[in-house]
Amino acid sequence: MTAATAKSPSTTPATDTDADALRIENVGRRFGSTDALQGFDLTVRRGEFIALLGPSGCGKSTALNCLAGLLPLTDGRILVGDQRIDVLPPEKRDFGMVFQSYALFPHLTVAKNVAFGLQMRGVGRGEIRRRVDEALRLVRLEDQAGKLPGQLSGGQQQRVAIARAVVIEPRVVLMDEPLSNLDAKLRLEMRTEIRRLHQTLGLTTIYVTHDQEEALSLADRLVVLRAGRVQQIGTPQELHDHPANWHVADFMGYRNLLDAEVTSAPDGGAGGGDGDGAGVEVRADGLSLRGLAVDPVAAGERVRLAIRPSDLVVTDPAAAPGTSSASGTSGVSGASAASGTNGAPASSGTNMIRARVEVVEYQGREYAVEVRTESGRALHVRSDTAPQVGVDVLLTLDPARALVYRFDLDPADAGRSSDAADRAADESRPPAPDPIAAEAGS
Amino acid sequence: MSAATTTPSAPASSGAEGAPRPVGRPRSSASLRHRLADRGIDGQMLLLLPALVFILVLFVYPFAYGLGLTLQPTQETVETWGGGVLANYVRFFGDSFTFASVWLTARLAIPAALFNVLFSIPLAIKLRHRFRGKRLISTLLVLPITLGTVLTAQGLLIFAGRQGWLNQALMGIGLVDQPLDLVHNYIGVLLSLIISGFPFAFLLISSYFSGIDPSLERAARSLGAGWAQRFFRITLPLLAPGLATTFILTFVLAFSVFPSATLVGNPSGSTRVLAVVAYRFFGEQFDYPMASTVAIMMGLAELIVVAIVLFARSFFYKGTTGGKG
């Protein structure tokens, strides 16, 4: 909602943009025989806020360190305007960096920490004082100027680190998971702070995170990485609404990923992109579902179905129309485990899934509910009311909101690393997404 | 720790000391124990007992005894130097032959300690990063720790003596005409002190280095600091307290040098260090009180240097340096 709609205020005219753009061309970095980063292409406009998003080990920190010059490139080049900067040592690049661990100089006061970069640039003493004061005022730490970093709280330290990076007015600000060491409340505050600073200063920023909420709310554009490769680049809305593959979908809050097989694909699924979607029919875990094919798929192909929890609408089986026709084998409260045909597409075109409520989490305005289908598959759904644990419910799903993806992410190394990436993604995802995540792009 | 736990009864009962005790709240035994624990007195104090006995028996008593000895000068000393019970001290400062040893010892110990500290820094910097052969190099650097000073001295005599390999090799390639005098003098002892003291300094400084968060240097780089600026503005100030400690340790080790001063030095001349002088009084002149006096003064000289270094150290930042150390 915030970042998605509010473009950077310092968006400059096209002619000016090109001259100062940061161009990352085919950048790659190998460690031994493993590609930590491969074929990274990106042009960043001046003043743009870019988030590199991905699970741990996806190459986002490698990318940042390559930009900062702390890691030499194995392939490609980096340019600012026409100047090639990947050949410069870090101290000559004029990039400000904010570290995950803050990396404040513990023996220097807050003011001296902030002044450090200016001193290195040989700025005059009077101007240093003026600019340090200004930077500290910007991060609201003017009262703490004389303290040592150890005397500050985590959030204050992070603000010093940010002030230190932006006071030199660098060409690019690099931020390496700057909020990951803060508690949840402070993280939200600092997120707003970072966004506010970016709107004030308009500095080109590249921000690394594994938190999709953070990325969606802060960035003008997102780059999703997996196993060293770019999966998708786009605005928060684009990524949120149209993930390019199931991995991106997973990161964008499609918590339900179902392995499935295509049973029928009328026109190769290709026509599914517009309108209410001819779509395809897939079979997953004993469920027959109708979905929208994002990639062209053929009948019999292995696919992965991505569904957002909020798109699975919980209805009371007794009240829902068409209940009897969809799964008429059992009563309202009966455990109809025998029914293998459960979840067949209803005549209206809406998918119906019978499931039993297992876990209910209160999340402010709504409830995050985990249900289990009769075939034993756990699904994450959202509900406005708190369903009773153990009760059978009926889930309805608009076929247009059930995205069908090809199973293989990269044709080159299909299947080899997808499991590992899967696991990494699971681990790095916050256990229960904040309601804001669901709102961010809607 | 139990000392850190706050008990609800402790403040209540301590507040009741002056005023009449509230009815129905008898002072329980638990309360006393908790109040003692609040002041750091608990059963775990017993763990200190062995160390206390050790210090009393093996340090405090002998030290006090030695100090007492210094105040009981021999008849001969009192007659020659005067000064009553302080005759030994009068002799120490008055006898230029004895007093000069302070300078002779410092002349060995301070350069050796400085060398060990300063040359450990670049090695510790290099060995921070992973590279091929790192383990081999650090093993070689630390190995001399295992050789005692006597073995080192013996090796030096064979290696660097007038007929040693080093001199033969140097003469063989025509670099020198005369064999270099590297042993039985100041240089021999200095070399021996460096060989035995360097591993300590290197190990200590390496561990101090690992205590500095490497991202600090990266941060300095990203802010535009070149090599020298990073070292002198970030690394060195954070390392300084560790350097001071290391200097003190290697200095004290070197200041009390005895074996190598006799074996590879010139104990009656240029390397007549305080330990040698004390030994002479004890072993050759059987003047036990004077030997004690020299030993006490040796400790005092060390204390002065240590105090100066610690005073200087107090001006540096000594807090956390963010690393794993």
Per-residue pLDDT tens over the stretch A50-64: 999 988 888 888 999
Q: Same structural domain for residues A353 and A214?
A: no
Q: Which residue has the higher pLDDT, A432 or B274?
A: B274
In a domain, A351, yes or no: yes
Q: Is A136 an 8 Å CB contact of chain B? A: no
User: Are the beta carbons of A399 and A277 closer than 8 angstroms?
Assistant: yes
Task: Locate A175 and state its tokens.
Answer: 């931020």
* Phi, then psi, of A162 in degrees rounded to 5: -70, -45
Burial code (b: 16+ CB inside 10 Å, e: under 16) for A121-160 equals: eebeeeebeebbeebbebbebeebbeebbeebeebbbbbb
Model ipTM? 0.74
User: What is the β-pairing status of strands A280-284 and A351-363?
Assistant: unpaired
In a shared domain, residues A197 and A299: no
- Name the 3-class secondary structure at A279: coil
In chain B the first and final C-alpha atoms are separated, in Å, by 23
Instruction: Calculate how close chain A gets to B221, using CA atoms only, in Å.
Output: 5
Query: Could you give the CA distance from residue A368 to residue A359 in angstroms, rounded to a whole number?
Result: 8
Question: How many domains does chain A fold into?
Answer: 2
Assess if residue A282 is contained within a domain. Answer: yes
Mean pLDDT for the stretch of residues A150-175: 92
Alpha carbon of B116 to those of B113, B212, B236: distances in Å? 5, 20, 16
Question: Would A427 be classed as within a structural domain?
Answer: no
- Beta strands A256-264 and A229-234, pairing class: unpaired
Residue A15 vs residue A376, higher pLDDT: A376
Q: Are residues A392 and A307 in the same domain?
A: yes
Q: What is the pLDDT of residue A411?
A: 52
Residue A265 lies in domain: 246-317+339-408
Pick B82 or A218 by higher pLDDT.
A218
What does the alpha-carbon distance between residue A298 and residue A153 come to, in Å, rounded to a whole number? Answer: 56
pLDDT tens across A168-188, in order? 999 999 999 998 888 888 888
Higher pLDDT: A413 or B196? It is B196
| Contacts for B69 with CB less than 8 Å, ≥ 6 apart | B288, B289, B292, B293
Strongest mean pLDDT among A198-207, A261-270, A417-426: A198-207
- Show residues of chain A in contact with B322, CB under 8 Å: 101, 103, 106
**In the structure encoding, which two tokens stand for residue A86, read together?**
């990947």
**B213 contacts: CB under 8 Å, gap ≥ 6:** A101, A103, B321, B322, B323
With a cut of 60, say whether residue A28 has pLDDT above it: yes
Other beta carbons within 10 angstroms of residue A99's beta carbon come to 22
Q: Which of A226, A241, A256 is the last residue of a domain?
A: A241
Which pLDDT does position B23 carry in this prediction?
57
From the CB of residue B115, how many other CB atoms can be counted at a distance below 10 Å? 18
Q: The domain spanning residue A343 has which CATH number?
A: 2.40.50.140
Q: Which residue of B has its CA nearest to A151?
A: B319
Residue ending a domain, among A241, A270, A292, is A241
Judgement on whether residues A206 and A292 belong to the same structural domain of the protein: no
pLDDT above 60 for A212? yes
* pLDDT bucket at B308, cuts 50 / 70 / 90: very high
Determine the average pLDDT of the residues in B70-78.
89
A175 and A205 inside one domain: yes
Q: Which of A31, A88, A91, A175 to mutate to test the interface with B (most CBs of B within 10 A)?
A: A91
Residue A40 pLDDT > 80:
yes
Residues A286 and A208 in one domain: no
Q: d(Cα A150, Cα A147) in Å, to the nearest integer?
A: 8
How far is the C-alpha of B50 from the C-alpha of B57, rounded, in Å?
A: 11
Which one of A61, A70, A97, A105 makes the best mutation probe of the B interface by having the most chain B beta carbons within 10 Å?
A: A105
| 3-state DSSP of B169-187 | HHHHCCCCCCCCCCCCCHH
Q: Retrieve residue A48's tokens.
A: 């743009």
3-state SS class at B211: coil
Chain B environment of A68 (Cβ under 8 Å): 218, 222
| Residue A82 pLDDT > 90 | no
Strand order in the sheet with A83-84: A34-44, A22-31, A75-80, A83-84
Task: Give the residue, B146 or A199, on which the prediction is more confident.
Answer: A199
Distance between CA atoms of B102 and B96, rounded to whole angstroms?
10
Q: Please judge whether A106 and B319 are an interchain contact, meaning their C-beta atoms are less than 8 angstroms apart.
A: yes
Torsions phi, psi of B265, nearest 5?
-105, -165
B316 and chain A: CB distance < 8 Å anywhere?
A: yes
In this model, does residue A256 exceed pLDDT 60?
yes
**Residue A207 is inside which H or E element, if any?**
strand A204-209
CA pair distance A229, A416, nearest whole angstrom: 14
By three-state DSSP, how is residue A253 classified?
coil
Please give the mean pLDDT across all residues of chain B: 85
| Strands (DSSP E) found in A58-196 | 75-80, 83-84, 95-98, 172-176
Is A204 a residue whose pLDDT tops 90? yes
Whether A150 contacts chain B with CB within 8 A = yes
Instruction: Tell me, yes or no, if A88 comes closer than 8 A to chain B by beta carbon.
Output: no
Give the separation between CA A36 and CA B323, rounded to whole angstroms: 26
Measured at the CA of A276, the angle between CA A270 and CA A281, to 5 degrees, comes to 60
Other CB atoms within a 10 A radius of the CB of residue A421 amount to 20
Rounded CA-CA distance A393/A413 in Å is 40
Picking from A236-245, A430-439, B96-105, which range would have the lowest pLDDT averaged per residue? A430-439
Phi, psi values for residue A383, rounded to 5°:
-145, 145
Q: Averaged over A241-267, what is the pLDDT?
A: 84
Domains assigned to chain B: 1-10+30-56 (no CATH), 100-313 (1.10.3720.10)
Residues A223 and A251 in one domain: no
- The three-class DSSP label of residue A4 is helix
For residue A437, tell me if it sits in a domain.
Answer: no
What would the mean pLDDT of A363-386 be, rounded to a whole number?
87
Query: Are residue A179 and residue A224 in the same domain, yes or no?
Result: yes
Q: Say whether both A200 and A83 belong to one domain.
A: yes
Give yes or no: residues A276 and A293 share one domain: yes
- The pLDDT assigned to B106 comes to 93
Which residues lie closer than 8 Å to A277 by C-beta, 6 or more apart? A271, A292, A399, A400
Report whether pLDDT(B12) > 60: no
Residue A199 Cα distances to A4, A426, B246, angstroms: 14, 33, 50
Q: Kindly give the pairing relationship between strand A366-373 and strand A256-264.
A: unpaired
Indicate the pLDDT class of residue B28, thresholds 50, 70 and 90.
Answer: low
Binned at pLDDT 50, 70 and 90, residue B130 comes out as confident
Looking at every residue in chain A, the average pLDDT score rounds to: 79
**What is the CA angle A366-A258-A295, rounded to 5?**
110
- Mean pLDDT, rounded, for B239-255: 93
User: Cα separation of A94 and A168, whole Å?
Assistant: 8
Is A54 a member of any domain?
yes
CB hemisphere CA count around A80 (13 angstroms):
16
Please report the pLDDT score of residue A160 as a whole number.
94
What CATH number should be reported for the domain holding residue A37?
Answer: 3.40.50.300
Predicted confidence at residue A423, as pLDDT, reads: 42
Residue B229, CA distances (Å) to A25, A173, B224, B232 in order: 32, 22, 9, 5
- Measure the CA–CA gap between A212 and A58, rounded to whole angstroms: 14
Residues 6+ apart with CB under 8 A from B112: B190, B193, B194, B197, B250, B251, B254
Asked whether residue A333 is assigned to any structural domain, the reply reads no
Could you say which of B218, B225, B234 has the minimum Cβ distance to residue A70? B218
pLDDT band at residue A350 using 50, 70 and 90 as cut-offs: confident
Its sign, for the CA torsion A290, A295, A300, A304, is negative
Q: Is residue A75 part of a domain?
A: yes
pLDDT in tens, A297-315: 888 888 888 998 888 888 8
CB-nearest to B222 from A95, A105, A106 is A95
Mean pLDDT of B89-116: 92
Give yes or no for a contact between B288 and B89, defined as CB atoms under 8 angstroms apart: no
Give the model confidence (pLDDT) of A378-432 as tens digits: 899 988 888 888 888 888 888 888 888 888 876 544 343 444 444 444 444 344 3
The residue among A197, A222, A241 that closes a domain is A241
Same domain membership, residue A392 and residue A306: yes
d(CA A379, CA A256): 6
The token duo for A156 is 């204050």
**Cβ within 8 Å of residue A97, ≥6 positions away:** A68, A165, A173, A174, A175, A176, B218, B219, B222
Please state the separation of Cα B158 from the chain's center in Å: 29
Q: According to the model, what pLDDT value does residue A410 have? A: 64
The verdict on A70 touching B (C-beta cutoff 8 Å) is: yes
Answer yes or no: is A218 within a domain. yes
- The reply to whether A296 and A385 lie within a common domain is yes
